[in-house]
Each structure stands twice: as structure tokens, then as C-alpha cells.
Structure 1
Amino acid sequence: MNLEYQLIFFFSALGAFNGFLLSFYFAFKAKKSQVPSNYFLACLLLVLSVRIVKSVFFYFISGLSETFIQIGLSACFLIGPFLYLYLQSQFIAPKKNYRLLHILPYILIITVIGIAFPYWSERLLWTTYFVRVIYLQWLTYIIFSGLVLKPVFKKFFSSSEKFTDKDLWLSSIFFGTTFIWIGYFVGSFTSYIVGALSFSFILYLVILVLIFQRKKTTLFFDEKIRYKNKEINLVVIDEISNKLHLIQDKELFKDANLKLADIALAFKTSPHTLSQYLNDNLGKSFSLFINEYRIEEAKRLLHSNDNYTIEAIGYESGFNSKSTFFTTFKSLVGITPSAYRKQGN
């Protein structure tokens, strides 16, 4: 193996190894910080790393076990769903049945296909048809994920809405995964190792973003404030619980620019304590907590005020864009605002 091949092997293999480490890291942080969305990120990095390891060994090592090749290709079937679920979970909390709908069927499919048509005996079938279906499914979920981030992309071109560090992080995850898909697609016409190198490049780029942004924000854990290793005492819990009605009574949720610090000020507590209360006692992020109030208000307006357009109701309820309102409403209620209005007529 000449120097050029050694360098390519080193960087692509190191990228996959770091991917596994980051996967375990985010899984550990998810368990410790009680932020479920990090499980999706951990799983996304895990299946990407499995796919990359397969590519690296397939390219550099002859006689690679065909079972290992099958596992690597099958992992691609879960990249798209985990990308979609992670990005969606940053805006709303997907229900358990909804999460399973995007994971279990694919696990069942790849298991049945793997047993009925193993790679070692049906190699032509895999390389001709199954791989195409896998990459088409991956691309489909990339498109769905792009729709989830539509409000974020609008901010980038908007002069009235600020493009936040969290928006930058989510965009990096989305475009990074998209770039890796392009790397594998292009690799079918150029070199098979392009996809693995793309992963390494994107991974190092994201790590750099993490390092430079780390001091300014808790960007990677759903903007969750770091807590001390102790629980809030019961007196404070009761005080906050007794003040929750202020959000409804004073219609604080209608402020589209409402922040955790604003509610904390109204409750006469610290943002740190309020965030810990929401996560530990209600199991919700601040954005989900406030959006539930907004959706309840929107439901009331949809049935009581036919003069308002649906878009106007979204703004009246506290949402800062039509797309965010529609996405959040459908995720929490299960149907679109238009369909909900029709149910009340």
C-alpha cells in the first residue's frame, strides 16, 4: 500500500472511529441530561459509522466477509429515518408510536430481506436493485428533513429573524448527511471511497463547529442548561407549579420572541432552575412546553373565529412563521389546522 493509499485509509478509518466515539458520547449525554433527541443523533452517527467502516474495509481489504458488507448496506436504511427524527425532535417531541413507525418497519424489512436474500448468495440482486432502493429511501428522508428545516432556511434569508447557533448546528447535520449521500452517489461513477472520505470531512467540520461554539451555547443538547448534580427542592417545585397559570392568564405564550429567561423573570426564579423543572418534572423542553400553550390557543381560535385566516391564527397564537405553525400543529394534534377547523364546523 503506497503512501497515498495509506493516507486515504487513515483519514477515512479515523473518521469512522471518531463517529463511533461521538455516537456513544451523545447516547451517554442523552441518558444523563434526559434529552431524548440526542438518542436519535447517537443512532444517526452509529449507522453512518457502520456504513463508513464497511466502505473502508471493502475498498482496502480483499476477501471481506459478505455478511459484513450486508450489514454495512443495511445500515443505510436507517440513516434517513434517524436524521429526520433528530431534526424534528428539535422543534417538537415526536410521539412514541410515530417514532416507531419510522424505525421498526425498516428494521423488519432489512432483517427479512437479509435472511431471505443474503448478500453472499444474491450479490447481483443487492447491487442491482436493493442498493438503489436503499439510497432512494435515504434521499427521500433527506427531502423530508429539509422540509422540517424550512423555517430555519427562511431565517438565513430573512432580515427580521436571527439565524441562531442552534440553526447553524441543525443545518450542519442536515447538509453534512446530504453531502455524504452525494459522496456515495458520485462514488458509483468515480471512486467507492469518496463516501467514506466525505463522512470524515464532514465529521471533522462539525467537530470544529462544536469546539468554537461550545463556549457560547449549549447548542448540542437542545439548548438545555447544565445542571448541578442535585435536584430542585420540593418548595421550589411547588412555587413554580403554582405560577404556571400565569402563562395562560397573562397570555405570555403569544409573544413570538418569548425566551426561557422571560418566563423565569415572571416566575421570579432563575432560567437554570426553570429549565431543570421543565425537564425533570414535566419531561419537556422549553420550546415544546410553550408550543403546547400556543397550539391550544390555535385550536380555540380555529373553532371560535371563522373570520381569521389559518395563517393569522398561527401568528395570533404566538408562532413567528406559517410553516412552523403548520408543522407544530400537525405533529401535536395529528392533523392540519384546516382539517381541524372543518371538524368543528
Structure 2
Amino acid sequence: MTFGQQMLFFFSAVGAFNGLLLGIYLLFVKKLKYLPDFFLGLLLLMLSTRVGIAVCIYFYPDLPRIIPHLGLSALFFTGPALYYYVKSSFQQEQFDWKKCQKWFGILIIILGAVGLLYLLFPVTWEHYFGTFIYTVWSVFVFLTVYQYYNFSKQNLKNPNQFVLPVLISNIIIFLTYQLISTGWVHIYCAGGSLVFSFVLYANFLILFNKKYQQLPVKETERYSNKKISGEQADSFSSRLERLMNTEELYKNPNLKLSDVASRMNISAHQLSQLLNDNLGKSFSTYINEYRINEVCEKIENGSYLKIEEIGYEVGFNSKSTFFSTFKKIKNTTPLLYKQSQTLTESRFQSSNL
């Protein structure tokens, strides 16, 4: 390699490596605490995989044919990941996670079918496979832009301040790859890789800059003292209830107030204020009430699990905590509650004989 090629390889590879690490962190460390982060992690992971493979192919063209195939397969999911990143950022708790999983399953089947044809008939499908990948990517990029325009037009609140930078960055990467794929620019792999590295670090600078654009301390304290209005409290309460009922966050034994606040896209102080001032209970009491209610439902439905196993299943991390919490909320022990339910059921059956 010449010195210029070494520098080209270095900057491209470092960008891909950092993007890969950030994608893994968002996907497997933060997991599903905040859905937009999950899709952003998937997006970074797929793009970084594509860029990393592209760099290897550019400098080591004799790699097995399956390697570029895997790179294009990773690129296939960047469009859907971007689309759902924007959608989940705007829809927040209304986002349909099950429907999303269904569509990703369909896309995996489609990619598997087309990839199989490529592997079985490489000469015939070599050109068509790449065209298929770029077509799907193009469709999802246009859908994402259209979706962002609609959400913005509806004046929907977007608490995720990085949606627009991420969208613009992906459009730049998309246009670069599309332009290079026409053959007008001959450094295909390296060109796209350098653009990816550039926009990745540009977004890091935006993140770093935003971090320090906080309200002054006095203004923050003045804001924290504001009471939640009745209408806003009703809205927050409905969102919190939907989140608990649909996603069952209370089953997480390590659930923290900040985790729930993040999912609701409000500050931890606002959530604490809502619970204490408007609902009249602490965070732990609110969560434990959901857990105990589910315990009672399982007992009433004749669960085959032992009582302590039910406690662990609904989110308690110790038997003693479960029993003491149950007695505090229901004024009885789980065993006595189960016996009373069995006795009530027996009396009901006897009266029907």
C-alpha cells in the first residue's frame, strides 16, 4: 500500500469500527429501554458491517464471493432500520412493536429467498442481487423522508433531537452510494466508507455540542418547581398506564424511575411529580401495585406455579420483598389469599349443584 492508501484504509476502518461498537452498545447493552435507540443501533450495525466489508474488498479483492454478499445483505436492513427509527421516535408509546417484528420477519424471508437464488445462480443473479438491495434501500429512504414530512406537518412532538441529523446523514450516505454505483466515481468501496466515517463523526460533534446546551441552573430549578397541570397530568397518566399494560415494564426487577421516564419521553422529575402530587403514591408503590394485581390474577386463574415463583415472574427479586409487599397492599399473605380464593370457588361450585 502507498501512504495515501494506508491513510484511506485507516480512516475508513476506524469509522466502521467505531460505528460497529456504538451499534452493538445500543442493540445489546441498552436493549429495548428506548426503541429509537434499538433501531439506531441496528442501523449503525448494518452500515458498519457493510462499510467494513467494503473496505476489506477494496484493499483485498481476492476475498471469497460470500463476503460481498454478506455486505449487501447488511445494507438491505439499513432502510427499514432508518424508517422505524424515525417512526418510533415520533409515535413513542403508540409504536406497534409486534407489527414491526412481523415486517422484519417478512423482509428476512424475502432476503433469504433472493440470496438463495444468488448463491445457486451466481452468474445470472450477480447483477440482479445488487439491484434488488439498492432498490429496497431506495424505497425505504423515500418512505422515511415522506414519513418525517408527514409527522412534522402534523406538529407531532419529537423528543428525539437526533432524528433530523440521523436522517440527513443517511440521505448523504445513500446518495453517495447511489452515485458511486453508477460508475461515475471509481473508488466505490473507499468513497462510501469515507463518507460514512465523516457523517458518523459529524454526528458525534452534534451530540457533544447538544450535551452542553443545557438550561442554566436557576432556570432549571425554576422549571422543576412548576406544577403539572390537570390536563397534562391526565395525559401523562394515560401514557403511563398504556405503557404498563402493553409492555409490562413492571416485570423488570431492576426497573428504575428514570427508565420509565425515558420511555415516556419526560424527565424523571416530572414522572416523580406526577406520581407523588397527582397519583398520591411513590414510584415503588405504583409498580408494586401492578405486580401484586397480576399475582392475584394468576392465583385466581389457578396458576400451576408456586406462589414464590409467581412473585419472581411478575418482577420481585426476592421472596421476602414479595411477601411483605403483598401483605402491605392486600392486608393478607399470598397463601391466605390463595386459600380464600379456593374456598370461594368451592362454595360457588357447591351452590350450583
Q: Give the TM-score normalised by structure 1.
A: 0.59
Deviation at 1:276, TM superposition (A): 10
Deviation at 1:170, TM superposition (A): 0.6
Tell me how far apart the structure 2 counterparts of residues 108 and 89 of structure 1 sit (CA, whole Å). 23
Which amino acid in 1 is paired with 2:110?
A: I
1:142-291 matched pairs, under 5 angstroms: 142-150=141-149, 166-167=160-161, 169-188=162-181, 189-190=184-185, 191-192=187-188, 193-216=190-213, 247=234
Are the counterparts in 2 of residues 16 and 50 from structure 1 also a CA contact under 8 Å?
A: yes
Tell me how far apart the structure 1 counterparts of residues 237 and 47 of structure 2 sit (CA, whole Å). 47
How large is the Cα RMSD of the aligned pairs? Answer: 4.0
Tell me how far apart the structure 2 counterparts of residues 136 and 42 of structure 1 sit (CA, whole Å). 23
Which amino acid in 2 is paired with 1:199?
A: F
Tell me how far apart the structure 1 counterparts of residues 271 and 80 of structure 2 sit (CA, whole Å). 34
The runs of at least 4 aligned residues of structure 1 exceeding 4 Å deviation read: 151-155, 161-165, 243-246, 248-252, 258-270, 273-282
> What SS does structure 1 have at the residue aligned with 2:172?
helix
1:58-207 matched pairs, under 5 angstroms: 58-92=57-91, 93=93, 94-118=95-119, 122-123=122-123, 125-127=125-127, 129-150=128-149, 166-167=160-161, 169-188=162-181, 189-190=184-185, 191-192=187-188, 193-207=190-204
Which amino acid in 1 is paired with 2:64?
A: S
Residues 95-120 of structure 1, C-alpha deviations (whole Å, 9 max, x = no match): 2332123311221122222233218x
Tell me how far apart the structure 2 counterparts of residues 278 and 146 of structure 1 sit (CA, whole Å). 40
Deviation at 1:84, TM superposition (A): 0.8
Are the counterparts in 2 of residues 29 and 38 from structure 1 also a CA contact under 8 Å?
A: no
Deviation at 1:201, TM superposition (A): 0.7
Deviation at 1:280, TM superposition (A): 11
Tell me how far apart the structure 1 counterparts of residues 288 and 60 of structure 2 sit (CA, whole Å). 49
Are the counterparts in 2 of residues 180 and 198 from structure 1 also a CA contact under 8 Å?
A: yes
Are the counterparts in 1 of residues 275 and 283 from structure 2 also a CA contact under 8 Å?
A: no
Are the counterparts in 2 of residues 165 and 213 from structure 1 also a CA contact under 8 Å?
A: no
Tell me how far apart the structure 1 counterparts of residues 150 and 288 of structure 2 sit (CA, whole Å). 29
Are the counterparts in 1 of residues 50 and 74 from structure 2 also a CA contact under 8 Å?
A: yes
Which amino acid in 1 is paired with 2:133?
A: I
- CA change 1:47–1:281 in 2 (3 A) is farther
Tell me how far apart the structure 2 counterparts of residues 40 and 280 of structure 1 sit (CA, whole Å). 30
Of 81-90 and 34-43, more deviation after overlay is shown by 34-43
* Long gaps (5+) in structure 1: 156-160, 218-242, 253-257, 283-345
Number of positions where the alignment pairs a residue of Structure 1 with one of Structure 2: 242
Tell me how far apart the structure 2 counterparts of residues 99 and 109 of structure 1 sit (CA, whole Å). 15
- CA change 1:9–1:28 in 2 (3 A) is same
> What SS does structure 2 have at the residue aligned with 1:103?
helix
Which amino acid in 2 is paired with 1:166?
A: N
- CA change 1:277–1:22 in 2 (3 A) is farther
Which amino acid in 2 is paired with 1:194?
A: G
Residue aligning to 1:338:
none
Residue aligning to 1:27:
27
Are the counterparts in 2 of residues 15 and 199 from structure 1 also a CA contact under 8 Å?
A: yes
Tell me how far apart the structure 2 counterparts of residues 3 and 91 of structure 1 sit (CA, whole Å). 46
- CA change 1:162–1:38 in 2 (3 A) is closer
Are the counterparts in 2 of residues 30 and 36 from structure 1 also a CA contact under 8 Å?
A: no
Q: Give the TM-score normalised by structure 2.
A: 0.58
User: Higher Cα Rg: structure 1 or 2?
Assistant: 2
Tell me how far apart the structure 1 counterparts of residues 207 and 122 of structure 2 sit (CA, whole Å). 42
Residue aligning to 2:4:
4
Deviation at 1:22, TM superposition (A): 0.5
Residue aligning to 1:228:
none
Residue aligning to 2:44:
45
Deviation at 1:147, TM superposition (A): 2.4
Which amino acid in 2 is paired with 1:57?
A: C
Deviation at 1:123, TM superposition (A): 4.4
Deviation at 1:49, TM superposition (A): 0.8
Deviation at 1:46, TM superposition (A): 0.7
Tell me how far apart the structure 2 counterparts of residues 37 and 280 of structure 1 sit (CA, whole Å). 27
Deviation at 1:65, TM superposition (A): 1.4
Deviation at 1:212, TM superposition (A): 1.7
Deviation at 1:80, TM superposition (A): 0.6
Are the counterparts in 1 of residues 46 and 74 from structure 2 also a CA contact under 8 Å?
A: yes
Deviation at 1:78, TM superposition (A): 0.7
Tell me how far apart the structure 2 counterparts of residues 281 and 147 of structure 1 sit (CA, whole Å). 42
Are the counterparts in 1 of residues 47 and 74 from structure 2 also a CA contact under 8 Å?
A: yes
* Long gaps (5+) in structure 2: 215-229, 240-264, 291-353
Tell me how far apart the structure 2 counterparts of residues 53 and 143 of structure 1 sit (CA, whole Å). 25
